[in-house]
Structure 1
């Protein structure tokens, strides 16, 4: 993010009002803009120069060039380290990176092998995205990373296989209801494992705390309570994002297979499924990302007692 560029002058968070949900939606639509995947090293170098000029007072007010530079950095680099996030794991690549694995998981008639493979692929991608974009206050060891990865994959595959065995055995349920429930099994697996995934991959933050800052932007300490809220909201945002993507396309596809797609080739049905997933993903992503602000205030009394008596650089509580 642009905030990784040093300078004495604070940057405006966004050209939009982030205190409102609509403002955050518009902001998130910018950072998840897939055209930002075309950002080059030259673009990033120029963007850093523009942002640095603003932070040192050489640019007095935000210009269109400033906002474009900020968009390049916000969608491409990590806010803590300033390093470029690997391309498939950037927010601007979110929909495209998830498209193939989502299509795989939502393919009707997957057997045990197919279910295991696509759940593994999805959780592998999630782990990579979470790791690449995690708060860098504390780094996770390779052993911790692999242990948590194994747990997330196990949770995902366990839920998917468990529900696959339960749904066909349900009694007093119509065949159509069983069909719909079967199509929603990937959603249940993704949501369950997604929550486990986030808390495992970012558990280090909860154990050791994340940095909290005063109103001047100066760090005043670490807080486990703030970390729990931050990671919890991240997990919830994953659920909010997954719900429409994993629910709407399969339900529409069931309807289409009984109508317009009846008797059509597997290729045609797969193409229709891909289109439904892509359209839903691009439409809902900014709404899911915008639910919670990236930085937010918390009353000091809700933090650890050792932070209650802290003073800022102006010797104010």
Structure 2
């Protein structure tokens, strides 16, 4: 299903926008066609869809974006999530019958010990190979970035000692159109258990664009026929995304679905909230029971997290770059 995104419109669900809209290039610029391959786990499926739509809307400026949602068919879904994908997303087979300016590919919840053993691995690697020559640029986010470099250059991700979870200050490395006019530092959400090392990436020919002293490499790129852009973090996350994940993990701990109590996200809650959460953690370890979730304290975020502001600049630069290519390809008028 196709969605038209404009800067001043509301952001609906895919089902609420007409699939067809005859449109001329009457705004002085080319319409961009962007695809989202949304492979996020069921609880985050709709949120991820909305977050990327809002991010593209914030970055669109005056141009219009024709936006298509897809999901890898081999990603396991609950009946409810499968119904949502089947009824509101385009069929992945249609991807190869259209020309996309840009593609965004999210990670998926891992279910196998190694990435190349995942049930969706074949579908994902076929998508990587297709995107190399059939898009102007593709963004690979979080686990999708790890999977792409594994497939392309056999770069193995490394397990972290603890989950990297929070808002991290990232600095630009050199100059690039993607990071032009980006705030310094860029405050970026990361939520992952693994990483790819900068030394492995540079040795294989990737260019690092941003890095964090605490979180390591953030954005890196490689040029094929398509420019591949890799995010180890989650540029789409809104201000409450990390909070939702943290509360989900507390709930799983209390229900004995995970053994370790989750760490508080880095540089995310204010100091008073962190103190209250430390007291709650002590009680949760002593009285581990799902009912205790009702006693969670009020949560207040730090005032300086600036969630999404850096991503809006990065995506505006990405869309501008795509638009220059698209407009150059238009016939003279």
TM-score of the aligned structures, taking structure 2 as reference length: 0.31
Question: If each structure's strand is expressed as a fraction of its own residues, which one has the higher value?
Answer: 2
Larger radius of gyration: 1
Name the one with the larger helix percent: 1
